[in-house]
Structure 1
Amino acid sequence: MNNSVQSIQGTFEPDFAPVVHMLQDMLQQPGQRGAALCIYQHGQRVVDVWGGVADRAGQQPWQEDTLVNIFSSGKPVLAVALLQLVGEGRLELDAPVARYWPEFAQAGKAAISVRQLLAHRSGLSALGEPLAAEALFDWQCMIAALEVQQPWWTPGAAHGYAPMTYGWLLGELIRRVDGCMPGEAIARRIARPLELEFHVGLQPAQLERVSDVSRIKNALGDEVAQRLYARMLQAKTLTGKAFTNPPSMMTSTNKLEWRVMQQPAANAHADARALAGFYNGLLQGRLLDQQLLREMQLEHSHGMDRTLLAQTRFGLGCMLEQPGLAYASYGLGPRAFGHPGAGGTLGCADPDYGLAIGFVTNSMDAYVMMDPRAQALNRCLLACL
């Protein structure tokens, strides 16, 4: 192993030095603060590096054990915890959610299946009735609101990304079937067995290792991002409510109550090693059997997304490669899968190349789906193979 790239800490195989050099160059660009990158190839860790600063003042170096909010990059981990219950015969993909959660059947939701929840096809991307800011931190309040929510479209007839409701929907299903909150299920089923620093609901000892995230000044993103942000300002639209109801959704990231709550769609805190380790565990068959892993990667939704207002493609809990679309490609091969997180985080895998990748950063860019920094690192990675 080698760690000779100046100012970047960690280890990497010499063949992958160009990727590490690219990360170092990125961290020297205006607006960039800190980041970490971990890559497995065929089960072997070949890159494990970090650099930059962890605090807003630029005084504290990013450490090996620095944690950061990974936002939606945690969604596939939540989905796998649910799919494990399917593998154990305790949950059926095509059974109605209401079989396990009777109160869910209200307001025309009796036939919505577990599969539809996983694939963003349930019509429950947002809550219609305005909620108080503090409702975000009250699990039972959010569950009660979802129980009486009508679908925004006929379930199964279309798809629309569920940025936040996904965490309560899948999380409550896990709670009903597995008898514990989703953060505990993820820790017991995934994080501890694979020795991953992946946390949904931080404990006091972990809080001091968390890096604040902040937006890069004057970042505009691309056309997809600008269209989405414009619609988000229209509070009564599906997109507006999906991202701003409760209104604390977009403003709580660095708050203590956000870090200690459990919202597995958006508030997992992890390092790059945990994200890469999760996908490596999937590819190595340590989390799901081959049939369920294939099911997870099977296309379930494809086309215009009613929430994101762009073309998306989903399996069960993961976003699938769309090679022709700059905003939606991992920069890897055609079977790549994973999930981006707000501001630039990315966890993904490419089964054809045997790659498992985790990229985390505290410098939030304005892109909605794939971040160009992560895409460039992935393209550089492929050139090294």
Structure 2
Amino acid sequence: MSVPDLSGRVAPGFEAVAEELGAILAESHGSGAAFAVYEGSHPLIDLWGGVADRDTGTPWQEDTIQLVFSGTKGLVASCLLVLLDRGALELDGPVSRYWPEFAAAGKGEVTVGQAVSHMAAVPGLRDGFGAADLLDSGRMAERLAAEAPFWEPGTQIAYHALTYGWLCDELVRRLDGRSTGRFFAEELAVPLGLDLWIGLPPELEEYVARLTPADDYGITYLGDEPEPLLDAVYGGLMAEFRWNEHAFHQAEIPAANAIGTARSIARLYGCLAGGGGPLVSGDVVRVGRAELARGICAITRRPYAFGVGFELQTELGRFGPPADAFGHTGSGGSSHGAWPTEGLGFSFAMNELQPEARDSRAPRLLAALADCLSR
């Protein structure tokens, strides 16, 4: 391939995407990235390049894996689709039907649909938490079950940055008996042959790219909410950047610590874009991407729309030009999703974390992809 510092494969007609990723890497000042696109189970684009560890200069390789932060939520949403497809879960039913302890403090009528669309009114924990608390999802679920709603459930959207994971993980555990990480591995990753984990096996640590936050990296925040509310939602995460530590890779943090390759995430979304087979029915994929909530986040004041855990398109156009796109982005710039009309799944994963306000990397790649498709 002629693009400097770039390796991989590109189907004829998509060379402009490789050129765009090459330009992004040339501007990256010593970081790395991967971008992949699948049409169903067929790879159209599988590219990687740059540096996996800025400190050592280790190059990004074909088997480099990357932590994708809230890209994890789309994987968890895919687990929920499996449970919906099997009739084990009902969106209109109360969370407390499956998790009785969650009814405490006035949450007895919160529905599963509200919980998975960030309308459950428990976006954080009033007593706060530190980064190390994330290593015990069971304990965090207990604390969440005891938490009172911050406002009337179902009345406003608020991004449940971490509590989404504990909510969904506990639903999976109560319904199936397995943790979300194990459920994902056995029901989705193994059948599709994905190099993708929620809770990384220790022997794979050597393949993980090292995250490098930009100096201005932080929470996307457009409002003027008091800081205690932000602390309740995000805890000490921004003050304590510990995501390069092995403990934070190997624990199951079901809203935030999936690790894998871009090709594996694109393969998963390619499956969903193509109708769900062999994982779930086309009908349940349509349910999963149907809008359950839309509005301005009560905490960050940015627009959101959600289906069953998946982000949907808003005026920000985070998933490229198609209006029917869905998926989930990750803090720092990763973007993963499906274009159903085109039957495509995509994933962009990188190790330099940039603030959303100035990060154009994924939008540039998706624009190049759309341009190639239109020719």
TM over 0.5: yes
- Is the 2:30–2:54 contact (alpha carbons within 8 Å) kept by the matching residues of 1? no
Are the structure 2 counterparts of residues 290 and 142 from structure 1 closer, same or farther at C-alpha, using a change threshold of 3 Å? same
1:277 to 267, 275, 290: 267
Q: Which residue of 1 aligns with 2:231?
A: 240
Instruction: Report matched runs for 1:102-251 at 5 Å.
Output: 102-218=100-216, 225=220, 227=222, 234-237=226-229, 239-244=230-235, 247=237, 251=241
TM superposition score normalised by structure 1: 0.91
1:260 pairs with 2:258: no
Residue 7 of structure 1, CA deviation? 2.2
1:341 pairs with 2:341: no
Are the structure 2 counterparts of residues 152 and 41 from structure 1 closer, same or farther at C-alpha, using a change threshold of 3 Å? same
CA deviation profile, 1:176-197 (whole Å, cap 9, x unmatched) = 1110111000001111111111
State the Cα RMSD in Å.
2.0
- Is the 1:78–1:186 contact (alpha carbons within 8 Å) kept by the matching residues of 2? yes
CA deviation profile, 1:19-77 (whole Å, cap 9, x unmatched) = 10110111111435100011123542111010001012252110111111101112111
Helix, strand or coil at the partner of 1:15: coil
- Is the 1:38–1:276 contact (alpha carbons within 8 Å) kept by the matching residues of 2? yes
Q: Which residue of 2 aligns with 1:309?
A: 301
1:320 pairs with 2:312: yes
Q: Which residue of 1 aligns with 2:349?
A: 360
Helix, strand or coil at the partner of 1:84: helix
What letter is aligned with 2:287? Answer: E
| Cα distance between partner residues in 2 of 1:172 and 1:290 | 26
- Is the 2:33–2:60 contact (alpha carbons within 8 Å) kept by the matching residues of 1? yes
| Cα distance between partner residues in 2 of 1:307 and 1:250 | 21
| Cα distance between partner residues in 2 of 1:103 and 1:340 | 31
| Cα distance between partner residues in 1 of 2:71 and 2:138 | 24
- Is the 1:31–1:217 contact (alpha carbons within 8 Å) kept by the matching residues of 2? no
What letter is aligned with 1:347? Answer: H
| Cα distance between partner residues in 1 of 2:130 and 2:366 | 41
1:375 to 363, 366, 373: 363
Helix, strand or coil at the partner of 1:252: coil
- Is the 1:318–1:338 contact (alpha carbons within 8 Å) kept by the matching residues of 2? yes
Are the structure 2 counterparts of residues 22 and 76 from structure 1 closer, same or farther at C-alpha, using a change threshold of 3 Å? same
| Cα distance between partner residues in 1 of 2:165 and 2:65 | 20
CA deviation profile, 1:307-354 (whole Å, cap 9, x unmatched) = 3311111111111112x43xx432221111111101111101111122
- Is the 1:243–1:250 contact (alpha carbons within 8 Å) kept by the matching residues of 2? no
CA deviation profile, 1:83-118 (whole Å, cap 9, x unmatched) = 211211222211111111111110101111111111
Residue 264 of structure 1, CA deviation? 1.6
| Cα distance between partner residues in 1 of 2:251 and 2:239 | 13
- Is the 2:216–2:354 contact (alpha carbons within 8 Å) kept by the matching residues of 1? no
Helix, strand or coil at the partner of 1:343: coil
What letter is aligned with 2:329? Answer: P
Residue 288 of structure 1, CA deviation? 2.3
- Is the 1:134–1:248 contact (alpha carbons within 8 Å) kept by the matching residues of 2? no
- Is the 2:331–2:353 contact (alpha carbons within 8 Å) kept by the matching residues of 1? yes
- Is the 2:121–2:149 contact (alpha carbons within 8 Å) kept by the matching residues of 1? yes
Q: Post-superposition, which runs of at least 4 consecutive aligned residues in structure 1 deviate over 6 A?
A: none
- Is the 1:85–1:91 contact (alpha carbons within 8 Å) kept by the matching residues of 2? yes
| Cα distance between partner residues in 1 of 2:199 and 2:71 | 15
Helix, strand or coil at the partner of 1:5: coil
Residue 140 of structure 1, CA deviation? 2.6
What letter is aligned with 2:284? Answer: L
| Cα distance between partner residues in 1 of 2:238 and 2:170 | 21
- Is the 1:121–1:301 contact (alpha carbons within 8 Å) kept by the matching residues of 2? yes
1:289 pairs with 2:281: yes
CA deviation profile, 1:156-191 (whole Å, cap 9, x unmatched) = 111111111111110011011110111000001111
Aligned residues: 371
| Cα distance between partner residues in 2 of 1:165 and 1:153 | 15
Q: Tell me, which stretches of 5 or more residues in structure 2 are unaligned?
A: none
Helix, strand or coil at the partner of 2:228: coil
Instruction: Report matched runs for 1:52-91 at 5 Å.
Output: 52-91=50-89
Q: Which residue of 1 aligns with 2:3?
A: 5
Q: Which residue of 1 aligns with 2:47?
A: 49
